[in-house]
């Protein structure tokens, strides 16, 4: 194989800028066909992005011998089904996050890909973004010494749609998303912390629904311990009605601390021995491009992608433990 030819299942908002265009910009990568259940929208996407084929039937991708790999960009409730079908069709898989609605589904996805000798990657793109690679570099080089603990705080206003009982976002519907906004957003955070500190070995949490805008949790707290013996804590609240959004993670070491944001490239602040360094790194136009490039190289045998089915499953396990679902 000299070039990875892709089929995309689900061409919604995430594929417009964050991911979709990158598949044709990465070397040795090409989108052949896109699928959406609304055929008119699939056709519109294909025309706007200069993609030769479109369909409203995922089987047209699974049964296409020209396709080497499938990008699954649907909501989490269909990730396991499509991943298993792709694996059985001997297609490599790149699946959106969170990896699935449950940890059990994640395990089935990993097993299906292993059984069919195909590779499974998860779209936790922060592992390859320069902003977050700089944070990992600072940690690895012990700029702030030995890490003691990490504290995550994410406090968001309700979205306008959260007040629309008959038109709630799918991200707060358990049957589609697995849980509420916690699954959608904290998954990025737990995955990156897994990347820089290693797996979490124990975790507990509390959650409830305070504002009653929807049925899933709207406030969550957690305490967790990494295999590396680093302590972590977090608070996620999605009902800060009269406050500005607050996104701050603090990593504290024996020599200092690092402060950064997960969802906005605010400058990274590094405090060591009474001195402060501010590091500004912007996000690229297509935030998934660097990770997609590593996926393509991995499929072609030219490198190793750092976001796999195994690492993605660990994040689902952690989130289920936080919400006391396992």
pLDDT digits (tens, 9 = 90+) for 269-321: 999 989 999 999 999 999 999 999 999 999 999 999 999 999 999 999 999 99
Q: Is residue 326 part of a domain?
A: no
Say how many CA atoms lie within 13 Å of 298 toward its Cβ.
Answer: 19
* Residue percentage of the chain with pLDDT more than 70: 99
Residues 145, 254 contacting (CB under 8 angstroms): yes
pLDDT for residue 144: 98
Instruction: Quote the CA–CA distance of 137 and 323 in Å, as a whole number.
Output: 31
pLDDT for residue 244: 87
Q: Is residue 207 part of a domain?
A: yes
Over the stretch 23-43, which tens digit does the pLDDT of each residue have? 999 999 999 999 999 999 999
The DSSP 8-state label assigned to residue 256 in this structure reads E
Q: Is residue 316 part of a domain?
A: no
Query: Residues 241-246: what's their mean pLDDT?
Result: 88
pLDDT for residue 189: 98
pLDDT at 325 over 80: no
pTM for the whole structure: 0.96
Same domain, 137 and 46: no
Q: Is residue 15 part of a domain?
A: yes
Q: In terms of residue numbers, what domain contains 259?
A: 130-283
> Binning pLDDT at 50, 70 and 90, where does residue 326 land?
low
Q: Is residue 324 part of a domain?
A: no
pLDDT for residue 5: 98
Q: Which CATH number is 264's domain given?
A: 3.30.360.10
Domain count, the chain: 2
Same domain, 274 and 296: no
pLDDT for residue 75: 98
Distances (CA, A) of 275 to 9, 130, 136, 149, 255: 49, 23, 20, 20, 11
Same domain, 136 and 268: yes
pLDDT for residue 218: 98
Query: Residues 187-207: what's their mean pLDDT?
Result: 98
């Amino acid at each position: 194989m000299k070039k990875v030819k892709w089929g995309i299942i689900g061409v919604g908002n995430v594929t417009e800028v964050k991911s979709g265009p990158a598949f044709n910009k990465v070397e040795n990568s090409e989108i052949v066909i896109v699928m959406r259940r609304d055929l008119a929208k699939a056709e519109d996407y294909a025309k706007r992005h200069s993609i030769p084929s479109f369909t409203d039937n995922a089987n047209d991708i699974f049964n296409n011998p020209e396709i080497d790999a499938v990008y699954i960009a649907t909501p989490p409730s269909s990730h396991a089904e499509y991943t298993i079908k792709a694996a059985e069709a001997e297609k490599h898989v790149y699946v959106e996050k969170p990896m699935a609605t449950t940890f059990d589904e994640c395990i089935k996805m990993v097993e299906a890909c292993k059984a069919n000798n195909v590779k499974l990657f998860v779209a936790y793109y922060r592992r390859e973004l320069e902003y977050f690679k700089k944070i990992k570099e600072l940690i690895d080089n012990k700029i702030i010494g030995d890490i003691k603990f990490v504290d995550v705080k994410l406090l968001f206003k309700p979205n306008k749609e959260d007040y629309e009982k008959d038109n709630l976002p799918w991200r707060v519907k358990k049957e589609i998303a697995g849980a509420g906004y916690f699954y959608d957003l904290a998954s990025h955070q737990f995955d990156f912390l897994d990347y820089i500190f290693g797996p979490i070995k124990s975790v507990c949490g509390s959650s409830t629904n305070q504002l009653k805008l929807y049925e899933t949790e709207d406030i969550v707290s957690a305490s967790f311990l990494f295999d590396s013996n680093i302590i972590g804590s977090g608070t996620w609240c999605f009902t800060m009605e009269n406050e500005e959004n607050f996104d701050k993670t603090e990593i504290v070491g024996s020599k200092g601390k690092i402060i950064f944001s997960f969802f906005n490239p605010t400058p990274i602040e590094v405090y060591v021995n009474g001195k402060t360094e501010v590091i500004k790194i912007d996000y690229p136009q297509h935030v998934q491009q660097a990770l997609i490039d590593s996926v393509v190289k991995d499929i072609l045998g030219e490198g190793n992608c750092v976001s796999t089915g195994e690492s993605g499953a660990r994040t689902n396990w952690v989130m289920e433990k936080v919400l006391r679902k396992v």
